Amino acid sequence: MINAMMNPAEINNLTKKVEVSLFSINVGLDNNILSAQDIIDNPDVFDNIFENVDKPVNLRSDVSVMGPAVGLRFDKWSFGITTEVKAKVDIIDFNPDLGNSIIENANGNNDQTTINIPENQRVNASGWMELGFIVGRQILDTDFHSLSVGANFKLLFPGSYSNLGMDKLSATIIDSEDETLLTDAQGSLNLSYDERWENEDGFDLEEDLWRGFNPGGLGVDLGVNYMIKRDDDPLLNIGLSLKNLGSMGMGSNQRNKNYIVNIPQNEYFRVDNLDGNIDEIEQQLVDSGYFTINDSDSDIRVNLPRTVAAYVEFSPVKSFQISLYGQKRISNENNNINLSAADLIVITPRLVLGKFELYSPWMQHQISNFTGGLGLQYGGFFIGSNSVITSFMNSDSQRADIHLGLSWGFGS
């Protein structure tokens, strides 16, 4: 079922008539400025994290928990039901000069910073659940080769979404011990959040997170798979999938605000004077005359992280397999209503010794660059990491991750 989640056409290649996945967990953290060794060597590294950074700061964190799932094969048709919870926290193209100014202000240092942000930078967090219905069909099946297609129709249950975007922002920030001033500033800001977080009675995570457990949208994955066989075993397996088409509405509790800032040169706005809740701060911004606010709370829809993926798996002998997987994002991650996905390519050699398998994924990632890992599988249980080898060999590794899961199948 894990393969069918990557490409719904793979549900036609179930090795058993019935396959059940109990759970699967995938957690990953990628960034482009800090390694684990940096934190170990200097626990106070966050006090000057932006000091010597000369490129936009990026961080991607992804958590995926696949719950119970089942796949059924009926002659040329196959069907599946899946459940999955996803969460993401991303920092996208964050300006290091702005970050350094924020830290300097927090430390009470005197400083003046000029920032120029040519495109939208974002800090984004989101969580949602998917209930998937997979259907697959074998188009061609002979002793030599097979061709299959599949689709995964997903009901989307939005949990929580927040976004801070700063687009085409230029400004001069003056920090001193007593005040923080903003001058010669132009640009726009987007703030989107769930208003239940500001409820004085508190936010009940269990009762409120899933917005009454009402579906907020529909997503679709499409896939095609071609396999060349040798003695009824796969020799060459090729797949192509288009994933995460669709969007989800965030409901009436979502607040979405756009701010236009225009502070002329030699005029100053004191940022440190802002105080109170969000509504009170907004009123202070409007009263200053430097900010225009546009509310667009109705019908906020967030687009899924759309990707196209392709892979090739080659099994020259029964005990060895090598695969190549590539993923490309096809949506603009700087857009405030788009969820992000990373571009990556992975090559994975795999040693197969009966029920025991040993594999080693080597990946080039958009954010954390080159990493290598190791994993093992015994029967339906697997555990591994895409970065454990390079984390031990290279102290500058900027990725940490783990994946594990358990499944079983029965029937011929």
**Average pLDDT of the chain to the nearest whole number:** 89
Q: What's the average model confidence in pLDDT over 386-393?
A: 91
Cβ–Cβ contacts within 10 Å for residue 236, how many? 15
The per-residue pLDDT for 200 is 53
d(C-alpha 379, C-alpha 381), whole Å: 6
The per-residue pLDDT for 47 is 62
108: left (phi over 0), alpha (psi -120 to 50) or beta: left
Residue pair 348/341 in contact by the 8 Å Cβ criterion: no
Give 196-217 pLDDT, tens digit per residue.
766 555 555 455 555 556 788 9
The per-residue pLDDT for 237 is 97
State phi, psi for 251 to the nearest 5 degrees: 85, 175
Q: Which two tokens stand for residue 187?
A: 């640009």
Cα dist from 4 to 54, 63, 227, 239, whole Å: 41, 19, 15, 11
d(C-alpha 278, C-alpha 325), whole Å: 45
pLDDT greater at residue 282 or residue 8: 8
The beta strand positions in 32-76, using DSSP E, are 57-66, 69-74
Q: What's the average model confidence in pLDDT over 8-22?
A: 92
Confidence of residue 100 (pLDDT cuts 50, 70, 90): confident
Cβ–Cβ contacts within 10 Å for residue 200, how many? 5
Residue pair 363/370 in contact by the 8 Å Cβ criterion: yes
Task: Look at the block and give the residue holding tokens 């170990």.
Answer: 40
The per-residue pLDDT for 252 is 78
State phi, psi for 120 to the nearest 5 degrees: -65, 130
Confidence of residue 397 (pLDDT cuts 50, 70, 90): confident
Cα dist from 317 to 127, 235, 321, 325, 379, whole Å: 42, 8, 7, 20, 19
Give 18-62 pLDDT, tens digit per residue.
999 999 999 999 999 888 777 667 766 666 677 778 889 999 999
Confidence of residue 390 (pLDDT cuts 50, 70, 90): very high
Q: Quick check: 162 pLDDT over 80?
A: yes
Give 264-309 pLDDT, tens digit per residue.
999 999 988 888 888 888 889 999 999 998 876 667 899 999 999 9
The per-residue pLDDT for 408 is 82
Task: Look at the block and give the residue holding tokens 């030699």.
Answer: 266
The whole-angstrom distance between residue 175's C-alpha and the CA centroid of its chain comes to: 34
pLDDT greater at residue 160 or residue 136: 136
Enter the pTM of the model: 0.89
The per-residue pLDDT for 109 is 65
Domain topology for 2-410: Porin (2.40.160)
d(C-alpha 314, C-alpha 317), whole Å: 9
What SS3 class is residue 5?
A: helix
The per-residue pLDDT for 198 is 64
Task: Look at the block and give the residue holding tokens 């940490």.
Answer: 400
How many helices (H) and strands (E) the chain has is answered by: 6, 22
Task: Look at the block and give the residue holding tokens 């927040």.
Answer: 162
What SS3 class is residue 45?
A: helix
The residues, any chain, with a CB within 8 Å of residue 27's CB and separated by 6 or more, are: 62, 63, 64, 401, 402, 403
Give 347-359 pLDDT, tens digit per residue.
999 999 999 999 9
- Compute the Cα dihedral for 154, 156, 157, 159 and give only its sign: positive
Q: Which amino acid is at 93?
A: D
Nearest-CA neighbor of 100 among 173, 183, 186?
173
Give 238-252 pLDDT, tens digit per residue.
999 999 999 999 887
d(C-alpha 221, C-alpha 6), whole Å: 9
The per-residue pLDDT for 104 is 67
d(C-alpha 402, C-alpha 27), whole Å: 6
**Would you state the torsion angle of the CA atoms of residues 40, 44, 48, 52, taken in this order, to the nearest 10 degrees?**
-20
Question: Which range (127-136, 194-203, 376-385) has the least confidence?
Answer: 194-203
Half-sphere exposure of 387 (CA within 13 A, CB side): 25
Half-sphere exposure of 3 (CA within 13 A, CB side): 21
Nearest-CA neighbor of 105 among 34, 47, 186, 184?
47
Nearest-CA neighbor of 263 among 342, 333, 352, 172?
172
The per-residue pLDDT for 117 is 86
d(C-alpha 225, C-alpha 190), whole Å: 41
End-to-end CA distance of the chain: 16
The per-residue pLDDT for 225 is 98
Confidence of residue 112 (pLDDT cuts 50, 70, 90): confident
Q: What percent of the chain has pLDDT over 70?
A: 91
Residue pair 368/391 in contact by the 8 Å Cβ criterion: no
The per-residue pLDDT for 316 is 95
